[in-house]
Chains A and B, each alone.
Chain A
Amino acid sequence: MRTRWQRIKDSAFLYHFLRDPVAYVSFAILMVLTISAFAAPLIAPHNPYDPTTIDIMDAELPPAWTDEGSRTFVLGTDEMGRDMLSTMLYGMRISIIIGLGAVFLQAFLGIVIGLLSGYIRRLDNILMRIADVQLSFSTYMIAIFIGAIFQTAFGVANYEKIAAPLLILIIGLAEWPQYARTVRASVLAERKKEYVEAARVIGLSKLRIMGRHILPNTLSPVLVISTVQVANAIMSEAALSFLGLGMPLTKPSLGSLITAGFEYIFSGSWWITILPGILLVLLILVINLLGDWVRDYLNPKLYKG
């Protein structure tokens, strides 16, 4: 009998994965980034959330490899004297958490709405019209609008206090139609098949047919778009933070770090904004490359370039 480990080792998935350098290199980078982000409290040399360890005299020190750089701060310090490396690690953790949370929310909304509209014909027209309309606006725009409305509704101070869950909500609300459309398309294909017919003949309830019979068969396209959606969500979060509708400076994400450093670029302190920028691009890039690979692997027909 073959063990599970052997099955994984012999699978076509792993075979193709290990033969595509783009895939495994980006996977490795993503793993390193994610692990170091979540291990930030353990591995970061300083704690940016603890004001007692921060000395304003250390502000705006350049990275260690330049002439004025100091050994204690490898990547320099920001305008408040926080260590860039630690702040970036903590920031990346927030960015990733918000990205994943937003994708879970949009997947949940999208799957529920997609199932309903694919299986119950009466709801289809209205739900898909809403999705169409929302898709025809850009998701960025919807996210910015919802963010602006929330900020007006809660006031700036309250908004900053609950920024992280709010951002998840905003991005989730802005991007669910992608999922709804994908799920609906596969539900429409599945519902005609015989096993659904059979389930209906046995007399199972609609809810059970949708949840237990159709849903599992619609999940592979959902997985395909999820990877890219995480990258999109992280990018939306960065954009919102950049506009002042995101994470506050006391608990910065990568986006708000870039914003904060932007003013100092004119005085030559490029590292405060460029370094988090590079990290953000690297993170999004590897997720996108991985997403492309997964899409091509699971659905060769979709492959267009």
Chain B
Amino acid sequence: MFAFTVRRILQAIVVMLVISFIGFAIKHNFGDPVRELVGERVTPEERAQIRERLGLNDPFLVQYSRFLVDALHGDLGRSFFFKRPVTEVILSKAPATLELVFCASLIVILLSVPAGIHAAIYPRRLLSRFIMGSSIVGVSIPVFLTAIMLIYIFSVELGWLPSFGRGETVLLFGFWESGLLTKDGLLHLIMPSVALSSIMLPLFIRLVRSEMMEVLESEYVKFAWAKGLQPRRVWYVHAFKNTLLPVITVGGVQLGIMVAFTILTETVFQWQGMGSMFIESVSRADTALMVSYIVVVGAIFVVVNTMVDLIYGLVNPTVRVAGRQ
């Protein structure tokens, strides 16, 4: 286990280095730190002076190592548009995205587990067929289209729900702007989180169902039936417990992938989170902000995946051996 952990962490570090290298290469080639610092109205001579002082004429690798050291100290540069350090900008936008992902995962978990179990236990029932049928339709609808249709039905036609923004927010602990505590904020949350969860829901239902069906075929479940246990006990205590492990590990990775879909959902609903910030930074050519979003989200992914792998290795020893060859 120790060797596995070390190898997995080393791999994570290498991946982070690669991501930061790509990020730096973009910044180095397309970004203009002088513009980020002083704006456009500076004479070429002053510009050259600033370039020299900032060390922008140093060799590439020297600059890259400086970028790495700064990044480790939490300094990823300044945003040209916001006139603030990018880490500050990203931290101020993060709560909105995290709350959205949290609510969406809540919906996914609460709906997919019962639906998946039902479809696995009674595969021939009408409701199960309906669940599986709608899940393949669900996979085929792009997330932004779901969002647009929700807006059209519930905001434009019915006028029940607000169509954009986060509504009223409350400041928690001095930095966390939460929309979870006000009625207005919660109303604004409903459609974005439903839209975001719609993309993961079909995948999770299929996952829970197929794992559950596999477990129901296994020897120990047959033995439990043979002992004459109550059906409920066999399903929920014996079988369900063992479907949880793959669901949690695959689910962990999938929930990380939701971060990618927040880019789309947030753009539709003008949700002031990291995703819409990223798209805006691309269209404003705010290179520093764009690169740091890539680095930060890359880091989130690497950490989540490493943790999931380690947990999986802890529970399932064959993974640890297979990697070694």
Contact = CB atoms under 8 A, between A and B. Distances in A.
Interface of A: 129, 133, 136-138, 140-141, 144-145, 148-149, 151-153, 156, 231, 235, 238-239, 242-245, 255, 258, 262, 265-266, 268, 270, 273-274, 277, 280-281, 284-285, 288-289, 292, 304-305
Nearest to B268: A262
A136 B279 contact: no
A305 B214 CA distance: 11
Contact of B145 (A149, A231, A277): A277
A188 B252 CA distance: 29
Given A137-B301, A138-B260, A285 B30 contact: no
B11 interface: yes
B140 A231 contact: yes
Interface in B254-300: 257, 259-261, 263-264, 267-268, 278-279, 282-283, 285, 287, 290, 294, 297-298
A242 B139 contact: no
Interface in B9-48: 11, 15, 18, 26, 29-30
A60 B312 CA distance: 55
B226 interface: no
B180 interface: no
A208 B267 CA distance: 50
Given A148-B282, A265-B152, A136 B287 contact: no
Contact of A268 (B139, B142, B156, B210): B156
A137 B302 CA distance: 9
B235 interface: no
A104 B325 CA distance: 33
Contact of B264 (A243, A277, A305): A243
B144 interface: yes
B221 interface: no
B148 interface: yes
A137 B298 CA distance: 8
Contacts of B119: 305
Interface of A is mostly: helix
B305 to A, nearest CB: 5
Contacts of A136: 253, 301, 305
Contact of A265 (B26, B151, B285, B305): B151
B260 A152 contact: no
B206 A305 contact: yes
Given A136-B301, A239-B264, A265-B156, A129 B144 contact: no
Nearest to A153: B30
B213 interface: yes
A40 B170 CA distance: 53
Given A136-B253, A136-B301, A153-B29, A144 B263 contact: yes
Interface string B139-173: 11111110011011000100000010000000000
Interface residues on B, range: 35 or more
Given A136-B253, A137-B301, A148-B282, A281 B145 contact: yes
B78 interface: no
Query: Counting chain B CB atoms within 10 Å of each CB, which of A137, A140, A245, A284 scores highest?
Result: A137
Given A136-B301, A152-B285, A285-B136, A280 B290 contact: no
Contacts of A284: 140-142
B6 interface: no
Contacts of B61: none
Nearest to A152: B30
A277 B148 contact: yes
B268 to A, nearest CB: 8
B132 interface: yes
B151 A152 contact: no
Nearest to B306: A136
B188 interface: no
Given A144-B263, A238-B142, A244 B283 contact: yes
A258 B30 contact: no
Contacts of A153: 29-30
A305 B142 contact: no
A265 B148 contact: yes
Nearest to B199: A140
A280 B267 contact: no
B144 A152 contact: no
B72 interface: no
B120 to A, nearest CB: 8
Nearest to A135: B253
A270 B152 contact: yes
Contacts of A280: 142, 145
B290 A152 contact: yes
A157 to B, nearest CB: 12
B137 interface: yes
26 contacts: A129-B11, A137-B298, A137-B301, A140-B261, A141-B259, A141-B260, A144-B260, A144-B263, A148-B290, A152-B30, A152-B285, A152-B287, A153-B30, A156-B283, A239-B264, A242-B264, A242-B267, A243-B263, A268-B156, A270-B152, A270-B156, A281-B137, A285-B137, A289-B136, A304-B210, A304-B213
